[in-house]
Amino acid sequence: MDRYNTHNMVEYIKTQPEFPFDAIDVEESLDNVLCYFGLHPKLDEQERHEITRDLLKLALSGELAEMQRIVDLGLMSGIDHVRNTRLPRQRPSISPAQFMEELHLA
């Protein structure tokens, strides 16, 4: 398989209405993730790495969007005392959007 085909697989997955997998699913069971979308390619190690890298971005984006949704709904209010507690050498908390920007995924 060539790079064009792996790119097309990732783009096809991005067009789907949902991506119900987290980063651990992508890293540990890439074949199951691809099968979910009806894809059954034979991939070499380089292709697996490229697809995993691209799908990790998608998975992390979904996870961060869910975290932001939880914060926006105020479901985290029960643990506000944790937010105000700083451990030594711990940097101030940032929003999921800022985190994505730091990873250059946004």
Q: What is the residue extent of each domain of the chain? A: 3-102
* Of 65 and 89, more confident: 65
| Global pTM value | 0.64
The CB density around residue 19, as the number of other CB atoms within 10 Å, is 18
Q: Is the pLDDT of residue 106 over 50?
A: no
Encode 41-80: b = buried (16+ Cβ within 10 Å), e = exposed. eebeeebeebbbebbbbbbbbbebeeeeeeeeeeeeeeee
pLDDT band at 90 (very low <50, low <70, confident <90, very high): low
